[in-house]
Amino acid sequence: MKLVLLGKPLSGKGTQAALLSKALDISVLSLGALFRREVEKKSVLGKKVEKYMKKGTLVPHSVTFPFLQKYLPKKDFILDGYPRNLAQAKALEKMCSLDFVIDVHCSNRLIQKRIMARRSCPKCGKIYGLDVHPPKEGICSCGATLIQRKDDTKAIVQKRLAVYTKQSASLISYYKHKGIYLQVSGEKNRYSLTKNILKKISY
Ligand code: AMP
């Protein structure tokens, strides 16, 4: 199965990618997560992408596409956060045929509420919400100390939201036209949302 997860920043698409990955036994490819690792390592690539991530803007095609070519599994995958625009959708289409594009929808009001509450595990990638899915004493179930993403600030999320709003309309109509677009609510409990998605994709 080849799935794409679309959604605003903090919509919950990363959480759903992880839960679907477990349920379907399919690996997740998140360019955002790969880029964050490179930034942490202070690699040449990390230095290149950091300036875009700090601004909340998209990393250019000349960087994202070779990454996609290198890491996209041949058979089954869940793509979290790619494509972000029509050019990326067309580039992806040349490489494979998707089964479903799942848009995790969430209101801007709830996203504002989630900004300060999100904590992520730098080791296993698990995502927590201090309010609705709190970790035990700031520690992930895998034992690592949780962190707050550097781009989870009000100003950067505002910019990431603006980029999403500008790019997503054409992306959504592109996939609607192909008959593979599904919209789900990212405002529900994370586990019932996963069940709902699995039902919709007839798994
Ligand atoms: P995410 O982890 O999906 O929220 O992405 C974090 C940041 O990584 C974004 O704000 C972009 O700067 C960069 N990024 C992630 N995915 C892409 C993509 N498909 N195209 C361009 N930049 C991306």
The answer to whether the CB of 32 is under 6 A from ligand 1 is yes
Q: Which domains does the chain have, with CATH numbers?
A: 2-107+168-200 (3.40.50.300)
The answer to whether the CB of 31 is under 6 A from ligand 1 is yes
Written as tens digits, the pLDDT of the chain (203 aa) is: 999 999 999 999 999 999 999 999 999 999 999 999 999 999 999 999 999 999 999 999 999 999 999 999 999 999 999 999 999 999 999 999 999 999 999 999 999 999 999 999 988 889 999 988 999 988 999 999 999 999 999 999 999 999 999 999 999 999 999 999 999 999 989 999 999 999 999 86
Q: Hey, which residues are catalytic here?
A: 13, 84, 118, 149, 160
Q: Which of 59, 61, 104 to mutate to test the pocket of ligand 1 (most atoms within 8 A of CB)?
A: 59
Q: How far apart are CA 79 and CA 64, in angstroms?
A: 13
Query: Edge to edge, what strands does the sheet with 2-7 contain?
Result: 28-30, 77-80, 2-7, 100-105, 181-185
Q: Which amino acid is at 44?
A: V
The answer to whether the CB of 174 is under 6 A from ligand 1 is no
* Nearest alpha carbon, ligand 1 atom 5: 32
Q: Which atom belonging to ligand 1 lies closest to the Cα atom of 83?
A: 19
Quote the pTM value.
Answer: 0.93
The answer to whether the CB of 125 is under 6 A from ligand 1 is no
